[in-house]
Every structure is written in structure tokens, then in C-alpha cells.
Structure 1
Amino acid sequence: MLAHCGGSPAAAVDHLVGAIAAAPEDPEPYAVLAELWRDRRPELAEVVRGANSLRTVLARSYVSFLDGDMDDAATAIGSVTGVRPDIAWADAPWFGDERFLGRVSAGALAEAAMRTMDRGHDLDTDGMRERFQPWFRAIDAVAAREPAPEALARMAILLRACGLTDASFALCDRADSVEPVMLTEVVRAGTWRRLGEPERTAAAFERALALDPANWSLYLDLADVRAEQGDFAAAVRLTEQGMRHEPDEPTLRAARAAYRARLTGSPADLGELVELAPGLPHDGYRDLLIDHACAGPALPAGLVAAARRIQHGDRAPATGEARPAAPRTDA
């Protein structure tokens, strides 16, 4: 192989990984890579532990398996899958090998599963579900061997992303049979929300709060559900409860201001939202809060216009009565 590639380990790895990408299930490229790893380990180590291109990370996943580092093997192939989920990387013979499934930790497989979703690709298709079958089998095997509740909950997120909502709920139930934890309920809530079940979504968030009553973000999650249902009084109450635990959190303050403006038509609350909105990290959520707030009763037109300008990319506040002191910079 090295002779074919001009004696270059980097070129050999590139060639072999190209062959793996073309047919991840073919054992031959792995066998050649294993031989090179045995015979030219120092040179190949420099290649696969170096620059994090897709090809080098894929090679790293296999050499980590060869070295018995199953956790690194899992997270590396998870990263590769996140970049190109249209290729069935987990059809690799080693991924279904008992040496891998018997030793990879639940935490590492959960992290790997999360990495498969990093780029936001749509996994809820028949083609994706087919390509992810080895992942589903690995989750089953590791969950049976090491049912760590938080790890199982994170794996359940991948099942949900692939449209397997019943399997996601079942994995959450398995996690609960070991120990109820907040994350499991949050994952359940997200699955119920995906299914368009707001009351069940809210019930899961309430159970999460019972397990972690000082978690401000759970109050915000539940407030958002109540706002979606049109219960802005409950949304205000929940954001205010969250602020008892984290009074300076900008997103929580912005949500409270938005929901109060929607409920009462308070210019002061809409003004606070206009002040906070430019610093919020998620544009989609910012715009949703502005939509809620601007629907409040009898709000001044200039203030509403100031909020709408933020939605359209003008982060500078309006003049006159709509002008807050300055956009926050600590968000």
C-alpha cells in the first residue's frame, strides 16, 4: 500500500479512508489499515492524531478500536457521522464487533450519538433510519450492559431525531427503572413536544422541576409551553419563579418581559424586551418572544416598531419613547 502511495503514510490513509467511504461494510480496507498500523505505527499515529479532517478522524476511529480505546473510537465515528450521515459509516465491521459493544462506555456512546446530530441534518427519513441501524443495535447492547440513566436519556435523543419516538420513550423508561433523573424528563418533554402534545410536554417539565427545583431553565421551558397554549399568566408566573434562582439571566428576563407585555400591554416590559433582545443568543427564540410581546393590548406603536426592527436585523433601539438605555452586552 505504501509503495502504491509513494511511500507516504498520509497518502495511504487518504486512499484507504476513501475506500471505506465508498463501502464502509467492506472489511478489506480495515485489514490493510490494521497492517499499516502494526508495521508503521509512529508515522500513522502522526497522521491520524493530527489535523481533524473527516478522513483523519475516520481513520482515528478505527485505530482507536485497534488500540482498545473504544470510547475514543465511538466519539470519533460519531463526529464523522455528524458531518456526513448520508454515508453508513457504522456499517464498519468493528462497530458491531463484540469487543467494541462489550467495552464502550455508556457515556461515550451517548456522546457519540449526540455528535451524530451536530450539524442538524434531517435524520427522520427511511434512508437515514436504515443507515443508523448499527447505532440502534449498539444503543440496545450498551443500555442492557450499562444502564446509566443520563447516558440512556442522551441516546434517546438520537432515537427521537430518527423518528423512533416509541423507542425513545422506552429508553427513557429504562433509565427511570434505574433512577429517575431530570434529564430523562427533559428528553421526554422534547419528544412529547415533537408529537404535538403540549399537556404531556408540560407534565414532563413539571416532573423535571420536581427533580431539580432550582433549575431556572426548566421554569423557562415550562413557561414557553404555557405561552404556546396561550396561558400568559402562567408563563409570567413561571419566569418569575425562575428568576428567584437566576435573577440576572438575560434570556429568562427577556421571556418574562415578553410574556408580561403580552398579558398586560405594559410599555415598560416591552421596552425591557427591546433592550435585552439584541443580546439574546438564538434569533428564532428572540423573534418568537417579540411576536408574543407585540400582540399585547394597546402597546405604543413606536415601541412595537422598535421591537419589529430588531426582528428585521436592525439591532439599534428606536428613538423617542421606545429607546432603552443600551443593548446588553453580557448575554
Structure 2
Amino acid sequence: MMAHCGGSPAAAVHYLAGAVASAPENPEPYAVLAELWADKPSELAEVVRDADSLRTVLAQSYISFLQGDMDTAALAIGSVTGVQPDIAWAKAPWFSDERFLGVVSADALAEAAMRTMDYGRVLDTEGVRERFRPWFDAIDVVSASRPSPEALAKMAILLRTCGLTDASFALCDQADSVERIMLTEVVRAGTWRKLGDPEQTTAAFERAIALDPANWSLYLDLADVRAEQGDFTAAVRLIDQGLKHEPAELTLRAAGAAYGARLTGSAAELSELIELAPNLPNDSYRHLLIDHACAGPALPSELVAAARRIQNS
């Protein structure tokens, strides 16, 4: 192999990673990489130390497995999966090996699962569910043997994103059986929201607030749900509660201005939104708030036009 690659460990890694990409379930490239690791561990460690490409990160995942560093192995393959979920990377033989599943921490597997969603790819398809089957199996094993509420809640997000809402709820219930935490209720709320059930979504957010009443973002989340329902009185009240905990928070202030303008037709509220909106980091949320605000009663047309210009900028 080294002769074929001109004696370069980096070239060998590049070649073998390409072979893995074409058939992740084929054990042969991993066997060759293991031989290379046994012969030239320091050179290979140097190649993968500064992982700067998909293929290098992929090699890092398996070399970490060979080193017994299962958490790093999980995180690396999670990153690779996030970049290219159209390839069944987790069908690598080592990913379902007991040496991996018996050791990897729940926190690392949960973070790896979150990384598979980093790029916002559509994962709710039959093809993705088939390619992600090893992830689901790993979640089953680790959640049963090393249950950690926060980790289980994060894993449930991946299940939801892949369209496995019943399994997501079940994992949240399992997390609750260990300890009830705010994150689990937030994940439940998101799953009910995905299913189009606003009442269950609201109930889950209210339980989350009861568990963490000083968390301003929960009030914002619930206010957004109430706004979707057309209940801007409740939305404004919830934003006011959030502002008591974080009065300078930009997103809270913008949402409060938007929902206030929608409820009362306040020109001052719309003016405040116009001032704050350009600084909001999320374009789609900014556009949504402006849509809500501009639907307020009897607002000055010049202010509405100014708000719309922000949407078009």
C-alpha cells in the first residue's frame, strides 16, 4: 500500500478513506489502515492530528477506535456524517463492535448524534433512516447501559429529525425515569411541534419553565408558539416574563416589540423592532417577526414600508 502511494502515509490515508467512502461496510480498507497504524503509528498520528479534510477526519475516527479512544471516534464519525449523510458511514464494522458500543460515553455519542445534524440536511426520509440504522442501534445500546438524561434528550433530537417521533418520545420518557430535566421537555415540545400539536407543545414548554423558571429562552419559545396560535396577548405576557430575567436580550426585545405591535398597533413598538431587527442573527426569524408586526392594526404605512425594506435588504 505504501509503495503504491509513493511511501506517503498521507496519500495512503487519502486512498483508504476513498475506499471506505465507496463501501463503508467493507472491512478490507479498515484492515489495511490497521496494518498501516501498526507499522507507522507516529506518521499516521501526525496525518490525522490536524484533521482538515473529510477523508482525514474519517481516518481519524477509525484510528481513534484502534487507540481505544471511543469518544473521539464517535465525534469524528458524527462530523463526517453531518457533512455527507448520503453515505452510510456508520455501517463501518467498528461502529457496531462491542469494543466501541461497550465503552463510548453517552455524552460523546449524544454530541456525535448532534453533529450529524450540523448542516441542516433533510434526514426525514426512508433512505436516511436506512443509512442511519447503526446510529439508532447504538443509541439503543448506550441509552440502556449508560443512561444520562441530557445525553438521552440530545439523542432523541436525532430520532425526531429522522422522523422517528415515537422513538424520540420513548427516549424522553427513559430520560425522565432517571431524572426530570428541562432539556427533555424542550425536546418533547419540539417533537409535538413537528407533529403539529400546539397544545401538547405548549404543555411541554410550560413543564420546562417549571423546571428552569429563570431561563429566558423558554419564555421566548413559548411566546413564539402562542404567536403561531394567534394569541398575541399571551405572547406579550410571556416575553415580559422573559425580560424580567434577561432585560437586555436582543431577541427577546425584538419579539416583544413585534408581538406588541401586532397586538396593539403601537407605532413605538414597530419603530423599536425596526431598530433591533437588523441585528438579529437569524434571517428567517427576523422575517417572521416583521410579518407579525406589520399585521398590527392601523400602523403608519411609512413604518410598515420601513420594516418591509429590512426584509428585502
Question: TM-score band (shorter)?
Answer: over 0.9
Alignment of 1:28-67 (within 5 A): 28-67=28-67
The superposition leaves residues 13-34 of structure 1 with CA deviations (integer Å, 9 ceiling, x where unpaired) of 1111111111111111101100
Query: Counterparts in 2 of 1:84-233, with a 5 A limit?
Result: 84-233=84-233
SS in 2 for 1:167: helix
Letter in 1 for 2:254: A
Q: In the TM superposition, what whole-angstrom CA distance separates every residue of 1:148-169 from its partner, at most 9, and x where no partner exists? A: 0000000000000100000000
Amino acid at match of 2:208: A
Equivalence for 1:272: 272
The answer to which of 48-57 and 64-73 deviates more is: 48-57
Cα distance in 1 for partners of 2:274, 2:309 equals 10
Unaligned residue ranges in structure 1 (runs of 5+): 314-331
What whole-Å deviation, never above 9, does each CA across 1:211-252 have from its counterpart, x for those lacking one? 000000000000000000010000000000000000000100
Contact 2:51 2:60 in 1 (8 A): no
- Shifted more, 4-13 versus 69-78: the winner is 4-13
1:71 equivalent to 2:71? Answer yes
Shift of 1:4: 1.0
TM-score, scaled relative to structure 1: 0.94
Q: Aligned-pair RMSD on alpha carbons?
A: 0.5
Residue 254 of structure 1 is matched in structure 2 by: 254
Residues of 2 paired with 1:71 and 1:65: CA distance? Answer: 9
**SS of the residue 1:281 aligns to:** coil
Encode CA deviations 1:68-125: one digit per residue, 9 max, x unaligned: 0000000000000000100000000000000100000000000000000111111111
Residue identity in the other structure for 2:292: H
How far the C-alpha of 1:50 sits from its partner, in A, is 2.0
- The list of structure 1 runs, each at least 4 consecutive aligned residues, that deviate by more than 4 angstroms after superposition, is none
Letter of the structure 2 residue corresponding to residue 138 of structure 1: A
CA distance in structure 1 between the partners assigned to 2:227 and 2:249 by the alignment: 19
- The alpha-carbon deviation at position 51 of structure 1 amounts to 3.6
- Opposite residue 141 of structure 2, the aligned amino acid is A
Query: Counterpart of 1:295 in structure 2: which amino acid?
Result: A
Distance apart, 1:185 and its partner CA: 0.3
The 3-state SS of whatever aligns with 1:76 is helix
Structure 2, unpaired ranges of 5+: none
> 1:178-223 CA deviation, whole Å, 9 max, x = no partner?
0000000000000000000111101100000000000000000000
Rounded to whole Å, the distance in 2 between the matches of 1:302 and 1:98 is: 66
Matched, 1:17 2:17: yes
- Aligned residue pairs total 313
> Residues of 1 paired with 2:50 and 2:164: CA distance?
36
CA-CA distance at 1:147 after TM superposition: 0.7
TM-superposed CA distance for 1:48, in Å, is 1.1
Separation of aligned partners in 2, 1:300 and 1:61? 58
Separation in 1, partners of 2:105, 2:30? 23
Alignment of 1:268-307 (within 5 A): 268-307=268-307
- My pick for the range that moved more, 226-235 or 42-51, is 42-51
1-structure distance, mates of 2:251, 2:82: 28
Deviations 1:32-51 (A, max 9, x none): 10010011011111111124
